[in-house]
Structure 1
Amino acid sequence: MQLTVAGGKDIKVSEATFGREFSEALVHQVVTAYLAGGRAGTKAHKNRSAASGGGKKPWRQKGTGRARVGTIRSPIWRGGGKTFAATPQDHSQKVNRKMYRGAIQAILSELVRQGRLVVVDSLELKEPSTAALKAELAGLDFEQGLIVTHELDENVYLSSRNLPGVYTVDVSGIDPVSLVAADKVIMTVEAVNKVQEWLG
């Protein structure tokens, strides 16, 4: 399989990485698990045992004419504990390495089929310059999306920070959510080679 580099030449790439059949179920599962793993899960309320006070029975069991009660921290009392109190939870889901890599391959392959993956020979700036990067991206018909370099290029990263909707990562920073959300993805040839090494 071949990918066309901006400028005309073609490069040979792995069919398994850039020509895989798209599996909506697999991508959905991996994206859902990735987002779930980002949840803090720190929500918590106090139940009747966690609420402070309430150790003493307010009045005797019988003879007062009032309803029986054992603690002032009963959930039906003002200031009492919550009946079904929320507790901190771990929302992370287990995703096998093979599934995760398969989902990345499926997303990249779909980007290629839809013409949303742009491969460039290199993307280098002599110094951080938003205007220079914007001009270079305009030549690639790229307004918003993800820029992937083989290593995090500080000049490109700093230049892209002020462009709305443009994000720069290296190959190790690729994740399924960013790829799915991107309008377009720009990858350097070196990044493509590194992705193939990673995904096999």
Structure 2
Amino acid sequence: MTVETKITYDVYNWEGNPTDKTSISLKVSEDNAKYIVHRALLKEQTHKKIANTKTRSEVRGGGRKPWKQKGGGRARAGSTRSPLWKGGGVIFGPKPNNNIKKMNRQEWRLALKTVLYNRSQDIKIIENFIDKIESPKTKVLINALNRWNISPTKKILIITDTPNQNAYLSIRNIPNIDIISANNLNVKSLLEANSIVITVDALSKIQEVYNDYK
């Protein structure tokens, strides 16, 4: 069963002062929340398994016998694509996982909104601050996190309305901070983060795009 819940947040400005309040209405799963979130997480993790090695039949070249069968003093060889050769095929190497977890769009969005609801205590709403980052500077963003009472040493997820190059370049050398746009929101990132920063426009887009479960 799904229920509609309304969550109200304080909105903070770039300096870290509360300026307003905003809210979001989410239809979340009440009875099978753990099950549907677990399914969504398995689906995302399975789709990321893209390792693929080539077998000897897929390696390019090797059609000609490298040397004659006898008289050369070397071991017999029929093709340079043999797994015994450098650059040859791989025996029992990883292949793309065919066991794709299927989940319809409405179920996945329900799982996403359920996670958002459960992580509401760790979410901080900030006014649209992307324009404040005029050039790629890590120190500017770290100082802003400190003003928002968010520890830069913890795992942080920043959700913006649209991708921004300056913001991305400012945090790319900090391994525990990740930045994504609202359109690329996923269950795994929400579950892994200790603190979640969402801009006002990104919150509106989340409400608009993901809240269509009937």
User: Quick one: percent identity of the two aligned structures?
Assistant: 21
In the alignment, structure 1 segments of 5+ residues that lack a partner are 47-78, 80-84
- Give the partner amino acid of 1:38: K
RMSD: 2.5
Partner of 2:124: 118
The partner residue of 1:148 within 142, 159, 175 is: 159
Partner of 2:204: 193
Give yes or no for contact 1:41–1:90 (8 Å, CA) kept in 2. no
TM-score (norm 2): 0.67
Q: 1:135 to 1:93 in 2, by over 3 A?
A: same
- Choose between structure 1 and 2: higher strand proportion: 2
Q: Which has the larger radius of gyration?
A: 1
Partner of 2:141: 133
- What are the within-5 Å matches in structure 2 for residues 12-31 of structure 1? 12-16=23-27, 21=30, 23-31=33-41
In the alignment, structure 2 segments of 5+ residues that lack a partner are 1-5, 57-83, 85-91
Partner of 1:10: 21
Distance of 2:94 and 2:128 partners within structure 1: 50
Partner of 1:109: 117
Distance of 1:128 and 1:87 partners within structure 2: 38
Q: Secondary structure at the match of 2:134?
A: coil
Could you give the per-residue CA deviations for residues 74-100 of structure 1, whole angstroms, max 9, x where no partner exists? xxxxx9xxxxx6884413211110111
| 1:157 to partner: Cα distance | 1.0
TM-score (norm 1): 0.72
| 1:163 to partner: Cα distance | 1.9
| 1:45 to partner: Cα distance | 7.0
- Give the partner amino acid of 1:194: K
